[in-house]
Amino acid sequence: MTKQQHSPAAVAAAIEEQHVVEFLRTQPEFFTRHPDVLMDMTLHHSSGTAISLIERQVVNLREHNRHLKSQLHDLVQIARDNDRLSERMHRLGLSLMDCTTLQDVFIGIYESLRNDFQADAVVMRLMAKPKVALNDAATDAVQDVQVSREAGMPEATNGVLFVDKDDVAWDAFKGFLKNAKPVCGHLGATQMNYLFGDQASSVASAALIPLTGIPGGGTGVGQLRVPAGIVAIGSYDTERFHHGMGTHFLSQMGEITSCAVRPYLATE
C-alpha cells in the first residue's frame, strides 16, 4: 500500500466506513425508517455505459424534492413577512384611534411609516380642506416631522399639503385616481417633482396610495366616495417598490388612513 493509503486520515476513514457497514447490516430497516437519507444518497444501477431508468427516476425525484423544498421555504418566508406587516398595520390602527386632532393623525401616520415601514420620504396631498384650519404651530409641527437617515443621505421632510381638486397638477394622477388602487414602481418626472420636490432626485422608487375621500353632495345609500388625495411613500432603493409587488397591505393602509382623516375634513 502507498504512504497515502497508510496515512492516519485514510485509516480513520476506513475504520469509520467499516463501522457504518456493520451498523447498516444490523439495522436492515434503517432506510425504511429514514427514507429522507436514502433520497440524498447516490446509488448506481449496473447497466453498462447506459443510464438506467431507475437512476433517471431517482435523479428527477431528487430535483423535484429540492424544488418543493425551495417553494416551501419561500412560502414560509412570505408568511413571516405577512405576519410582520399585519402587526405593523395593527399598531398603525391603534395609534390613529388615539388621535384627537388632524395634526395628531398626520404625525401618527408619518411616525408609523418612518419607524415601522422604514420609509425614506412620506408626502400627503389632500384635495379636501380641514374642518378647522390648522394654526401656524400645528402646521409647523406637521411640516417639520423629520426622517433621520444614515450619514451621507439627504434628510427627508415629511409634509401634508391641502390642494384644490381642480389644480392642474392633478392631471398627472388622473389615471391613478380613477383606478383608485395603489401602484408601485418608478414614477414619471412630473409626478416625482410634484410629490417629493427637492427630494425627487433621491427617491428611486415609490408607492402611491389613494385616499378615498369625503362623501359627495349626496349621502344616500350607495353614494360613491370620490378620491380625496394621495399618500406617497418614497424609497432611496430602486428595488424597494416595483410593479410586480403585491399591494394588499397598501390598500389596507389607504383605508385606515382615509378613515382616520375623514372626520376632520370638510365636505363641500
pLDDT digits (tens, 9 = 90+) for 217-246: 444 444 445 567 889 999 999 988 988 888
What's the pLDDT score for residue 159? 57
If one looks up domain 100-264 in CATH, what number appears? 3.30.450.40
Q: From CA 146, how far away is CA 141, in angstroms rounded?
A: 10
What's the pLDDT score for residue 216? 45
For residues 51-62, average pLDDT: 72
Q: Which residue has the higher pLDDT, 266 or 96?
A: 96
pLDDT tens string 144-180: 443 333 333 333 334 567 877 777 888 888 888 888 8
On the question of pLDDT at 1 being above 80, the answer is no
Q: Where are the domains of the chain?
A: 100-264
